[in-house]
């Protein structure tokens, strides 16, 4: 194709998205659209999968059967969400194995929030309430994104995610209304997860490299700073309701903006964690790569068994 022809196709493509038409796997798309979607969608899938690890830590130690079945169901949902998103990414012509390789080799990123440790039961509450809360804010606009398979996967994810946040808040509420030690535990978890949850919504708008292009392709509907403000405004009253204090001395209602002003975020910490120097980066990758490598004989055995059954069936036909 000549440069002019490509330019023409690109213009038509952008016009389709501007008209709110969806792009489907076999449609022509610019290389950059394909690559950006593979990057963002696989990053999203990896985050779901790695996100199971900090919570898996607490399954055997959940304080009651009610909490245990809920946590198990939440983690199973995350596995499911990872799978919806991986298969949606595969429609762009990349294989599952390539995607796993990118994660395991450190080439692909996942949400940096999962590189923090889960040291008390209250962390299960804080993750559900804050981390899933921030994730929902990020994800709801994606139900309407331009790439059909991604939008469809996100609709399923969003439907399932709201129980995650509610079960987390319920854990925090119970602890906050419990003994003084339990309330301290809840406050301590909020103290540790608050700032990483704010960072989870991404770098500030002036530092975010992908925003303009992503807005055009409806990979993003609101900027990181707007999403962060929305998260803060909706979460502060939730903390107040259960008597917990947001760990930010500068947090203050701004009557003119009808929004909360908030303190400086430690972006050095964010970039350190993104670059692999968070408290749990190595541990998470070790667990993930370990699970993949130790599962290889199972995957091979399943394939060998399937082949044998197939051959037996063919013999019977003859």
Partner 1 sequence: MSDKKNWPLWEIFVRSKNGLEHRHFGSLHAADAEMALENARDVYTRRNEGVSIWVVESKHITASNPEHNGELFEPAQDKVYRHPTFYDLPDEIKHM
Answer for which of 15, 215, 291, 306 binds partner 1 (CB under 8 A) is: 306
Answer for which of 48, 55, 90, 161 binds partner 1 (CB under 8 A) is: 90
Question: Which residues between 19 and 48 bind partner 1 (CB under 8 A)?
Answer: 24, 26-28
The H or E element spanning position 318 is none
Answer for which of 7, 245, 299, 311 binds partner 1 (CB under 8 A) is: 299
The CB-of-140 to partner 1 minimum distance in angstroms stands at: 19
The answer to the question of residue 162 lying near partner 1 (CB under 8 A) is: no
Question: Which residues between 166 and 225 bind partner 1 (CB under 8 A)?
Answer: none
Cα–Cα distance for residue pair 53/282, rounded to 1 Å: 12
Cα–Cα distance for residue pair 20/99, rounded to 1 Å: 29
The answer to the question of residue 290 lying near partner 1 (CB under 8 A) is: no
Question: Which residues between 69 and 88 bind partner 1 (CB under 8 A)?
Answer: 73, 76-77, 80, 83-84, 87-88
The answer to the question of residue 296 lying near partner 1 (CB under 8 A) is: yes
Which residues does 199 contact at the CB level (< 8 Å), separation at least 6?
112, 113, 265, 267, 269, 270, 273
- Write the CA distances from 174 to 11, 58, 82, 192, integer angstroms: 55, 17, 30, 19
The answer to the question of residue 8 lying near partner 1 (CB under 8 A) is: no
Which residues does 248 contact at the CB level (< 8 Å), separation at least 6?
194, 262, 263
**Which residues contact partner 1 (rule: CB under 8 A)?**
24, 26-28, 73, 76-77, 80, 83-84, 87-88, 90, 95-97, 152-153, 160, 296, 299-300, 302-303, 305-306, 309-310
């Amino acid at each position: 194709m000549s440069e002019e022809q490509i330019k023409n196709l690109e213009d038509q493509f952008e016009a389709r998205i501007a008209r709110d038409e969806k792009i489907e796997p076999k449609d022509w798309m610019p290389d950059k659209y394909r690559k950006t979607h593979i990057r963002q969608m696989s990053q999203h899938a990896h985050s779901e999968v790695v996100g199971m690890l900090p919570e898996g830590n607490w399954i055997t130690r959940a304080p009651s059967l009610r909490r245990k079945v809920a946590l198990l169901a939440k983690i199973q949902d995350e596995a499911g969400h990872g799978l919806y998103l991986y298969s949606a990414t595969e429609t762009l012509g990349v294989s599952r194995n390539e995607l796993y390789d990118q994660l395991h080799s450190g080439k692909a990123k996942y949400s940096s929030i999962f590189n923090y440790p889960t040291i008390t039961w209250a962390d299960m509450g804080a993750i559900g309430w804050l981390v899933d809360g921030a994730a929902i804010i990020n994800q709801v606009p994606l139900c309407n994104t331009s790439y059909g398979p991604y939008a469809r996967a996100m609709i399923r994810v969003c439907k399932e995610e709201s129980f995650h946040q509610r079960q987390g808040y319920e854990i925090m509420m119970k602890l906050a209304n419990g003994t003084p030690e339990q309330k301290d535990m809840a406050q301590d978890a909020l103290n540790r997860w608050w700032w990483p949850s704010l960072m989870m919504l991404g770098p500030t708008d002036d530092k975010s490299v992908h925003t303009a292009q992503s807005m055009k392709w409806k990979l993003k509907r609101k900027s990181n700073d707007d999403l962060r403000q929305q998260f803060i405004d909706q979460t502060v009253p939730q903390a107040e309701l259960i008597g917990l204090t947001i760990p930010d001395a500068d947090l203050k209602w701004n009557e003119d903006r009808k929004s909360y002003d908030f303190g400086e975020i430690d972006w050095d910490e964010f970039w350190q964690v993104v670059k692999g120097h968070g408290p749990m980066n190595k541990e998470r990758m070790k667990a993930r790569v370990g699970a993949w490598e130790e599962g290889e004989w199972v995957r091979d055995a399943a394939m060998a068994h399937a082949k044998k059954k197939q051959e037996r069936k063919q013999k019977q036909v003859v």
